[in-house]
Amino acid sequence: MSEVWNRLIDIENHYVSRFSETGKELTHYDYVEPTVTWSSRSWTSDTFRLANIGVVDARETKGLWMMHCCVFPHMENTAPIFGFDVVAGKNKITGCFHDFSSTGFASHPLIEWFGHEVSKLEWRKTRELPEWAQRIFSPHIIAAGNVSNGDELEQIITMGTRNLDHYIDTVGETDGECTDNTKGQNYYCENQKLNPHTPRVMTTLGLSEEQITFFIEQCMFPET
């Protein structure tokens, strides 16, 4: 049994539960291949426009498990985009990225709250981000790697669930503060698609080029 995988699947289950409790499920895709199983689920609610969870499970064949989650506020909302991505082998998290990313309103209360929360993490290290990432991620982004059992893993699990709960509970408070933020949200998606690491990891996990394109364009970062 893998403690790392089990704890990350706990986060997945928590996210699914919260989105199902607070919203309405829009789509649910499940694909089972000989070497990999992957799924994508999306929800909408009165307080968020779109939430998506994508999971690629290649534990049996590649020894890897990946989850992506994004929550987009309504277009009339100045709130940031919630993002949580993790890739893990059996014994460690090889990469975990978490941010409240501005849609053009960098001083939003949720971003300030997120910055305060992550400042408490002693193991958090500042790293140089590529140009596409600098355009969309907040200065507070968490980027962690080589995390095995221990305090750091426990903090990632706690942070991942607590921050999603706070986001879901408060994101609707700034609804109606702008007329239409389609441009800001599309800008986020456009830049996320410039990340070469995402399709590279999916290829390693066994997805075909067609599946990767569908996953990224239609599920993870759909433009409006």
- 122 pLDDT above the threshold of 70: no
Which residue did the predictor score with more confidence, 203 or 129?
203
Residue 103 neighbours by CB distance under 10 Å: 24
Q: What is the pTM of this model?
A: 0.96
In Å, how far are 31, 37, 60, 135, 213 from 57, measured between CA atoms? 10, 5, 8, 30, 17
pLDDT score, position 90? 94
Q: Is 33 helix (H, G, I), strand (E, B) or coil?
A: coil
pLDDT confidence bin for 150, thresholds 50/70/90: confident
At 55-104, the pLDDT tens digits run 999 999 999 999 999 999 999 999 999 999 999 999 999 999 999 999 99
- 12 pLDDT above the threshold of 90: yes
Structural contact between residues 58 and 51, judged by C-beta atoms closer than 8 angstroms: no
Residue 5 neighbours by CB distance under 10 Å: 19
Which residue did the predictor score with more confidence, 114 or 205?
114
Domains, the chain, ranges and CATH?
Answer: 3-220 (3.40.1500.20)
Average pLDDT over the chain, rounded to an integer: 93
The predicted model gives 195-216 an average pLDDT of: 92
